[in-house]
Amino acid sequence: MTIQRFLLNDKRHLIGIMAIDEAGGIGKDGIVPWDNPEDRAFFKAQTMGHTIIVGRKTFESWGRKPLPGRPCAVWTRNPNQFDSHCFDLPLLALSDVYALVEWGFAQSDIVYVCGGKMLYETLWSHLTDLIVTLIPGNWNCDIQMNMDYHAFECVQRLQFETCSVLHWERVG
Q: Which residues bind ligand NAP (CB under 6 A)?
A: 18-19, 26-27, 30-32, 55-58, 61, 75-78, 95, 114-119, 143
**Separation of alpha carbons 20 and 26, rounded Å:** 5
Residues 140, 22, 110: CA angle, nearest 5 degrees: 105
In the DSSP assignment, the letter for residue 12 is -
Residue (93 or 110) nearer to ligand NAP, CB? 93
Residue (118 or 172) nearer to ligand NAP, CB? 118
Residue (6 or 59) nearer to ligand NAP, CB? 59
What pairing do the DSSP bridges indicate for beta strands 129-135 and 164-170? antiparallel
Min dist CB 42 to ligand NAP, Å, is 12
Region for residue 22 given its phi and psi (left: phi exceeds 0; alpha: psi -120 to 50; beta: otherwise) = alpha
Looking at beta carbons, which residue is closest to ligand NAP?
A: 116
User: Phi and psi at residue 60, in whole multiples of 5°?
Assistant: -60, -40
Min dist CB 64 to ligand NAP, Å, is 11
H helices within 35-166, ranges in order? 37-47, 56-61, 97-107, 117-123
**Separation of alpha carbons 68 and 48, rounded Å:** 8
Min dist CB 137 to ligand NAP, Å, is 13
Min dist CB 157 to ligand NAP, Å, is 18
Residue (11 or 31) nearer to ligand NAP, CB? 31
Residue (77 or 150) nearer to ligand NAP, CB? 77
Min dist CB 168 to ligand NAP, Å, is 15
